[in-house]
Chain A
Amino acid sequence: MYQFNYVRPKSLDEAVALLSKADDPKLLAGGQTLIPTLKQRLAMPSDVIDIGNLKELAFIKAEGNAITIGAGTKHYDVATSPDVNRHIPALAHLAANIGDPAVRHMGTIGGSIANNDPAADYPAACIALDAKIHTTKRLIEADKYFKGMFETALDAGEIIKEVTFPHPDKAAYVKFPNPASRYAMVGVFVSKGPWGIRVAVTGAGQNGVFRIKAMEDALTKNWSPDAVAAVKLPADGLLSDLHGSAEYRAHLITVMAKRAVAAAG
């Protein structure tokens, strides 16, 4: 690791102030991506601003027809939340299968979507559930938030405060995890709700999470695993690496989508 200044603000306001003052700062939430990145010297921030202990960012609120999750909430707390399990079990299931138990005790939802790793799980949930991302500056619709691999709509100096997930009528997330890292080789989140029907895919796209309109249309006509089974995807624009070719991932998307629709019931 390169040297850096470590600071631990006592409030979100203080974190924003520190962020604007520092030369080349990085926010540290759970650190399950950032610390390994720093260890490999793939990043050289001047300041590491640790917001991982901010109580004001760690909460789960069930209000009306939505659940709002503070950006600093750990995956373990989402996975075991009675409210999340009751209203959006697909989201609890997703959180329960990120990384391993020790990673889930540290990693946060805000860290995951701020980083926007193309193989992260949460981006698929945000897109499929029409989530609203609240930051220190504004509200961003999930559809307008994810801008490509490791790219988001966040400005420098903007911090995610919370994410609101409306209750779906039906939803499920199924992933094919890489056996070593547990990152999604392909993960498909399907949902049916006030927003219509959505199919969001993570792990496979060169530009990160994306929706499949052909599957959404097929499910609108006929909500069944067979409807998505008939939709084959081209390999164009999909990731190809030592874990799997673009063609393999294209095939996996249809298989995972089928399983997700079956799981959603």
Chain B
Amino acid sequence: MEQILANGLYLGAQYALIALGLTLIFSLMNVLNFAHGQMYVFGGFVTYTVVAQLGLPFVVGLFVSAMTLAVMGAFIEKFLFRPVIKKSTREESTMLLAAGIAFFLDAVILLIFGEKQRGVPKIIDGVLNWDFRIIMPYDRILIGCLAVAMIIAFILFMQYSKTGRAMRALAQDRVAAQLMGVEVDRYSMIGFALGAMLAGLVGGLLVTITGVNLGMGGPTSIKAFLMIMIGGAGVISGAIAGGFILGMMESIGLTALSSYGDITYLVIFATLMVFLAIRPQGLMGKPWG
């Protein structure tokens, strides 16, 4: 039981970070970023390059991943989403654009990093064994704690910084935010960069545990969408709840349903369909809080 809980929390923290980035972009720009999973994979490969190939410390890898993705996010917003949003009156345009970026990034990753599964050497050795109730390698504990720390830092930033306040204002009432003097273009770019940066950070964190490969992008995007559907799109608390719920469901499923074969995600999808039929706005369905 404790083991399931610990696994669920560990997974949930990673998932919540991914979902936070996605929900931030959605709430600011009304864009469903289908390329979010690819950004995560890209971040993983950047950390792999810095740590495993260049032999630099893990922290540096994480930092370079975050910066690379932030810059990438800023460029994608400025040169791709912004002109499309300005010119098009249809919401599908941004969805198609996002899907296009996802395929493009897949191709770029294939070109730069290749198709092989990559990982980095363990950042710390050893396994925590608490009376055989919880058995967990130290590196997983560290990565889980780092993810939680980043979630807290993100919340504090959104809650108490001027930039965070401006982004919340923009998400809650675009016109009013403009009247307060918030430059929509500038803060959309900051938001997109921040969302992409979060994806890159999780990629950098998880490459130390599970490694990274080209095929992970699409499924990760789908999982991220699941999470914000569970929690409610565009809400911080919803993304966090969705992340932890999905992490927990996966953890429970892998333990409890393992004797029935690989059906965890089948059950999760079925449950989600029923859940959304009852509560389509998700758990915390409301704009940003």
Q: Do A and B bind each other?
A: no
> Which A positions have Cβ atoms within 8 angstroms of B?
none
